[in-house]
Chain A
Amino acid sequence: MSENTEFVKTEQLLKTKKRSQIVDVWRRLRRSNTAVIGLILIFIFLCMAIFAPVIANYEDDALKMNVRERLQSPGIGHWFGTDELGRDIFARIVYGTRISLFVGIISVSIALTLGGTLGAIAGYYGGRIDNIIMRVLDVLLAIPTILLAITIVAALGASILNLMIAVGVSNIPGFARVVRAAVLSVKDQEFIEAAKAIGARDHTIILKHVLPNSMAPIIVFATLKVATAIMATASLSFIGLGIQPPTPEWGSMLAGGRAYIRDNMYIVLYPGLAIVLTVLSLNLIGDGLRDALDPKLK
């Protein structure tokens, strides 16, 4: 009887330890001024994405071409001015936030799941499996990430789905490497041996013991990769390989406005700033997380 309650108490203790670990990291994250700025910024962008219909009307502001109002400078009616087809730039930026964040998060999720699985298997089992997987990754890594994404979209055709696949797949080797390194750093520790000794199955060990303890560098990497994914989306759209007009996307807005920069520089300034601020905020958070999760700085 008393043994049972001891066990329950221990479990509860472990659960509170896990919870307080997360609280601890949050507290340390809050200490960094730059990380807090990043969090605020990304929160603003998230709100813009979620509440876009409240802020601006999709049909009227972002899509409708209004030749009479084209190329208007920023002012009362149009906070950021209008583009070459008379559409309100501010509204387009707001709706563009949805696309950027959506594609960014989905593509990183693809890369994390597929690449992470590969990396975990390679790291955990080692030997020939590790060798084979690493050789394949070497081939993928020989092509610069953006170029790989460009090639994939070029082959499959430009659409939002293909964009997510392309950016996702091109980031698989990066995630595989990081997860493999994280697994390698943990797998030889003694609590893993202990788990094996009581007969836990391989996939249980990986999911319940190895991964949770090696999460820190993976989380930091994932955050930074969402930033690069957003940049990649904008880049691909800029060269016409991503989101197709008239759907508002920051990169394609820059491509469209390029011819008019001499007299209407706002047309590339604001969408570009949106990219910079989103990517910056994620970089700030990623940096902050890296410091907050670093055991050496505790």
Chain B
Amino acid sequence: MRIVSFYLFILEYLFCATIGGIVVKYILRRLLMLLPVMIGVIFLVFFIISLTPGDAASMILGDGATEETIRELRIEMGFNDPLIIQYGRYMADLLKGDMGTSYSTGRSVAGEIGQRFPNTFKLTVTAIILSILISIPIGVVSATKQYSIFDNIGMIVALIGISMPSFWTGLILIIAFSLKLGWFPSGGMRGIMSLILPAFTLAIASTASITRTTRSSMLEVIRQDYINTAKAKGVSKGKVIRKHALKNALIPAITVIGLEFGVLLGGAVLTETVFSWPGIGRLMVESIQRKDTPMVLGCVIVFALSFSIVNLVIDILYAYIDPRIKANYS
């Protein structure tokens, strides 16, 4: 019964946060700050990739190409131009929504990514939601029943959870639930059954991390004076936790949720490889192996953009929960 009201509580926050009550100026300002960061990111990745030894043109044309054709291709693709010019050209194309063409398949990078992105989105969002739903209640209960069996076991399990690499966890889960028990498919994307194992794999590490953070911030909040004030008013223990402590404890927890999403995106690369999930993580790995530079560039940009947007949402949530922040921007 209490658990249900818990979840309703969290849903209420998320719902209200999206409806409004937050100053539009704040959102606009954060969005504006996103732009230079993305420009910087694209330049940075462009620069890193430009450090690749080897010649792109000869790679595209393959072994049989002549010196002549390689030279011509280089001029055509603009590889001889200074880096800044190439970067400028890329940005201009980007504004039109064009991320270039794949070196290996010849298809549009943006198209390819556009096709695969929803799959990664499905996977990561499921994983983060799973994490939040599990970790916050456990973190809160661990804190309120500190030193109990539940707390001790919970914290040990959480520690192990953050120590397990996602690709190993995935393999073990496949062995146990797919090969031995046959409950789930071991790879591919076909229906909800194939989503469960990879989502769980991804969720384990972030659940562990968010649980620990929720617990430690809850522990700190419980010791605050205003909790005593609430108790002295006659507020019941349950209500003290739900109404007075939780909101304050969530503030640092939310930051960690944002960071964990970033880790999740990195983990998606590994998990998609293990489960042969057709998302942009696996696309990126394949493209690296095939030396398909525009595809790699495109994937990293999309990852960085997703991460930044999630952090933006987190910042907005932050401002909604903590009135001190709201005040700074109104």
Chain A positions within 8 Å of B, measured between CB atoms, are 34, 135-136, 138-140, 142-147, 150-152, 154-157, 227, 231, 234-235, 238-241, 251, 254, 258, 261-262, 265, 268-269, 272, 275-277, 279-280, 283-284, 287
- B168 / chain A contacts, CB cutoff of 8 Å: 254, 268, 272, 275-276
* A146, A240, A254 — most chain B CB neighbours (10 Å): A146
Q: Bound complex: CA of A241 vs CA of B265, how far in Å?
A: 18
How near does chain A come to B156, taking the closest CB pair, in angstroms? 8
**Is residue B330 within 8 Å, beta carbon to beta carbon, of the partner chain?**
no
Q: Is the CB of A155 within 8 A of B160?
A: no
* A152, A227, A239, A279 — most chain B CB neighbours (10 Å): A239
Contacts A147-B265, A254-B171 given; does A139 touch B159 at CB 8 Å: no
Q: Is the CB of A142 within 8 A of B37?
A: yes
Residues 237 to 274 of chain B near chain A (Cβ within 8 Å): 262-263, 265-267, 269-270, 273-274
Q: Name the segment of B13-21, B94-102, B282-290 touching the other chain.
A: B282-290
**Is residue B194 within 8 Å, beta carbon to beta carbon, of the partner chain?**
no
How would residues 161 to 191 of chain B score, 1 for a CB under 8 Å from any chain A CB and 0 otherwise? Answer: 0111111100110110001000000000000
Contacts A151-B45, A276-B163, A280-B160 given; does A144 touch B288 at CB 8 Å: no
**Is residue B224 within 8 Å, beta carbon to beta carbon, of the partner chain?**
no
**Is residue B88 within 8 Å, beta carbon to beta carbon, of the partner chain?**
no
Q: Is the CB of A143 within 8 A of B165?
A: no
Q: Bound complex: CA of A261 vs CA of B178, how far in Å?
A: 11
Which residue of A143, A156, A235 contacts B167 across the interface (Cβ within 8 Å)? A235
| Complex: chain A residue closest to B159, CB-CB | A283
Q: Is the CB of B52 within 8 A of A155?
A: yes
Contacts A139-B44, A275-B168 given; does A265 touch B175 at CB 8 Å: yes
Contacts A144-B262, A157-B53 given; does A151 touch B269 at CB 8 Å: no
Residues 129 to 169 of chain B near chain A (Cβ within 8 Å): 156, 159-160, 162-168
**A to B CB contacts below 8 Å, 20 in the list:** A34-B156, A139-B40, A139-B41, A139-B44, A146-B266, A147-B269, A147-B303, A150-B288, A151-B296, A154-B288, A157-B53, A227-B163, A235-B165, A235-B166, A251-B165, A254-B167, A272-B165, A279-B163, A279-B165, A280-B159
| Complex: chain A residue closest to B300, CB-CB | A151
Q: Bound complex: CA of A34 vs CA of B212, how far in Å?
A: 15
Which residue of B37, B160, B166, B266 contacts A144 across the interface (Cβ within 8 Å)? B266
**Is residue B308 within 8 Å, beta carbon to beta carbon, of the partner chain?**
yes
Residues 56 to 96 of chain B near chain A (Cβ within 8 Å): none
Q: Bound complex: CA of A136 vs CA of B175, how far in Å?
A: 44
Q: Is the CB of A142 within 8 A of B265?
A: no
Q: Bound complex: CA of A142 vs CA of B160, how far in Å?
A: 28
Contacts A235-B270, A261-B175, A275-B165 given; does A155 touch B263 at CB 8 Å: no
Q: Closest 9 interchain pairs by CB?
A: A146-B266, A139-B40, A272-B168, A144-B262, A280-B163, A279-B163, A154-B288, A144-B266, A155-B52
Residues 105 to 139 of chain B near chain A (Cβ within 8 Å): none
- A150 / chain B contacts, CB cutoff of 8 Å: 266, 269, 284, 288
Q: Is the CB of A154 within 8 A of B41?
A: no
Q: Is the CB of B263 within 8 A of A146?
A: yes
Main secondary structure of the interface of B (DSSP, over half): helix
| Complex: chain B residue closest to A271, CB-CB | B168
- B174 / chain A contacts, CB cutoff of 8 Å: 261
| Complex: chain B residue closest to A273, CB-CB | B168
Q: Is the CB of B172 within 8 A of A142?
A: no
**Is residue B49 within 8 Å, beta carbon to beta carbon, of the partner chain?**
yes
Which residue of A143, A258, A275 contacts B45 across the interface (Cβ within 8 Å)? A143
Chain B: how many interface residues by the 8 Å CB criterion?
Answer: 47
Q: Is the CB of B171 within 8 A of A261?
A: yes
Q: A34-B159, A151-B45, A151-B49 are in contact. List 7 more A-B contacts (CB 8 A).
A: A135-B40, A154-B288, A235-B270, A262-B175, A275-B163, A277-B163, A287-B159
Q: Is the CB of B51 within 8 A of A268?
A: no
Which residue of B38, B50, B156, B179 contacts A142 across the interface (Cβ within 8 Å)? B38
Q: Bound complex: CA of A135 vs CA of B159, how far in Å?
A: 33
- B274 / chain A contacts, CB cutoff of 8 Å: 258
* B41, B44, B165, B296 — most chain A CB neighbours (10 Å): B165
How near does chain B come to A160, taking the closest CB pair, in angstroms? 17
**Is residue B48 within 8 Å, beta carbon to beta carbon, of the partner chain?**
yes
- B269 / chain A contacts, CB cutoff of 8 Å: 146-147, 150, 239
Q: Is the CB of A138 within 8 A of B37?
A: yes
Residues 26 to 56 of chain B near chain A (Cβ within 8 Å): 36-38, 40-41, 44-45, 48-53
**Is residue B318 within 8 Å, beta carbon to beta carbon, of the partner chain?**
no
Q: Bound complex: CA of A257 vs CA of B213, how far in Å?
A: 35
**Is residue B304 within 8 Å, beta carbon to beta carbon, of the partner chain?**
yes
Which residue of B38, B50, B159, B270 contacts A239 across the interface (Cβ within 8 Å)? B270
Q: Bound complex: CA of A207 vs CA of B162, how far in Å?
A: 34
Q: Bound complex: CA of A265 vs CA of B172, how far in Å?
A: 8
- A275 / chain B contacts, CB cutoff of 8 Å: 163, 165, 168
Q: Is the CB of B37 within 8 A of A155?
A: no
How near does chain A come to B205, taking the closest CB pair, in angstroms? 9
Contacts A139-B37, A241-B288 given; does A272 touch B270 at CB 8 Å: no
Q: Bound complex: CA of A135 vs CA of B36, how far in Å?
A: 9
| Complex: chain A residue closest to B285, CB-CB | A239
**Is residue B103 within 8 Å, beta carbon to beta carbon, of the partner chain?**
no
- A283 / chain B contacts, CB cutoff of 8 Å: 159, 162-163
Q: Bound complex: CA of A262 vs CA of B179, how far in Å?
A: 6
